[in-house]
Structure 1
Amino acid sequence: MVGMSEATESETRAVGADPATPHDWRVFLEEYGQWYLRERDGADDLLDEDQAEALDRGERIDLWLGAEPAREEALAAAEERIGLRLPPSLRSFFLATDGWEYLDTWVDGVHPCDRVGWMRDGDDGRSVIEVYASIAGNEEEVSLFRRSVEVAKGEDYWLLDPTDVGPDGEWAAYEFAPKYGNPTKYSDFSALFRSSCSDMEEDGDESENED
């Protein structure tokens, strides 16, 4: 699982044209949802018969895959719990949808705002920190995990670092796969989310080419 003998500096990936406002997120997620319904195995289980037939005809499906927008009161409660105001892109995301399930297979989904919290406070996160702390050379990763807010989890983690703040108020974001070790750094939550969607689309294109 670990054994971090290689360099531990996080790779940084830049992704442009990221959603910024609640409206941007809604438009982006609606378009992404259409792609998901067309391309992902098993996505037809989300459709009724009429919707499935319309999809087969290449028509647009009127189906929102997200949740209801978070209320400001719920966001305020989440911020009070962690003791910090959430960064702009994550706040805007929650004002479009309070969580999102349909991501790649290594992350179960973005938590609703009432489940966002410190990685160190979750049972799984605490276990990861203990394992990494037991191995010499992982000090940088352990420090990151202890100070990071967890916004998504599955086999991998999505983390935001409130100590690494850009001029726009955004927090640096990380995708961390315990089985590989090195966290991958992004400029903010929007860039991380958009990159995950792009990776899924690329995987889908590769599968089509193999067929």
Structure 2
Amino acid sequence: MEISGGNVPRTAEDWRGFLVEYGGVYVRTADEYERARLTAEQIESHWLGAEPADERTIAATEQRLGIRFPPGLRAFLAVTDGWHGVGGWIDQVSPCAEIDWLRNTDMGTELIEIYAEEEEESEPNELIALLRSALVIANGEDLWLLDPTRTQPDGEWTAHEFAPKYGEDSEYPSFAELFHASKEQMISLAESEE
């Protein structure tokens, strides 16, 4: 599938190429603070990932969570168990050991409590339902969430970039398309600053 001028990764091979390209964009557009956190090897190789997660690690994480990951996330983890250096307000895509249900995290508990109070004062909303059911796969000031209650025909889960500070939620058909949009946003911001 083609969006915003590039291919969205689907397979592990696609992810390898995409992530090196993504890392190159990140290195090229990083501000002083972001660049200072990169090693010389990362700057040269454009690889901001880790070792791949093996099938046992992925399966153990799925068992811990009681689900099977969507195909795009499985392919990503088979290439790198996490990714540092994400554009926008995301610090990292979590490794298997840190992927969890949002409701099981301190931030998630707090967000659910805040939005549940607001929901009591108004009509029920989709955001609180998302916060209660979502898997958090990336974090920073914002969060990347996957919604297992909304599965696409290809098995992908609907992905969300949620900004808790503003209560803003952007929806994407899949994790891969959210990641791709992040790359396009980095490019767009860099071009607007030139």
TM-score by length of 1: 0.81
Aligned to 2:169: 183
Larger proportion of helix? 2
In the TM superposition, what are the counterparts of 1:61-72 in structure 2 within 5 Å?
A: 61-72=44-55
- 1:133 to 1:45, Cα distance in 2 relative to 1, 3 A: closer
In the TM superposition, residue 63 of structure 1 has moved relative to its aligned partner by 4.6
Q: Does 1:41 find its partner at 2:31?
A: yes
AA in 2 matched with 1:18: V
Partner amino acid, structure 1, of 2:105: G
What value does the CA root-mean-square deviation take over the aligned residues? 2.0
Cα distance in 2 for partners of 1:75, 1:175 equals 23
- Partner SS state of residue 83, structure 2: coil
Q: Aligned pair count?
A: 186
1:80 paired to 2:72: no
For the pair 1:32 / 2:19, whether they are aligned, the reply is no
Aligned equivalents of 1:63 and 1:184: distance in 2? 27
Which of 114, 122, 136 is matched with 2:105 structurally? 122
Larger radius of gyration: 1
- Which structure has the highest strand share of the two? 2
Q: Could you tell me which residue of structure 2 aligns to residue 143 of structure 1?
A: 129
Structure ranking higher on relative contact order (CA contacts 8 Å, 6+ apart)? 1
Find the counterpart in structure 2 of residue 21 from structure 1: 11
Q: Which of 180, 184, 191 is 1:198 aligned to?
A: 184
Alignment gaps of 5+ in structure 2: none
CA distance in 2, matches of 1:21, 1:179: 34
Please report how far the alpha carbon of residue 98 of structure 1 lies from its aligned counterpart in structure 2 after TM superposition: 0.6
Deviation at 1:47, TM superposition (A): 4.8
Consecutive aligned runs of 4 or more in structure 1 exceeding 6 Å deviation:
none
* Deviation of 1:46 (Å): 3.0
Query: Hey, what does 1:90 align to over in structure 2?
Result: 73
Q: Quickly say closer, same or farther: Cα 1:63–1:164, change in 2 above 3 A.
A: closer
Q: Does the Cα contact within 8 Å between 2:158 and 2:174 map onto a contact in 1? A: yes
Question: Which residue matches 2:154?
Answer: 168
Q: CA deviation at 1:105?
A: 4.1
Aligned sequence identity (%) = 45
What is the letter of the counterpart of residue 17 of structure 2?
V
| Amino acid aligned to 2:26 | Y
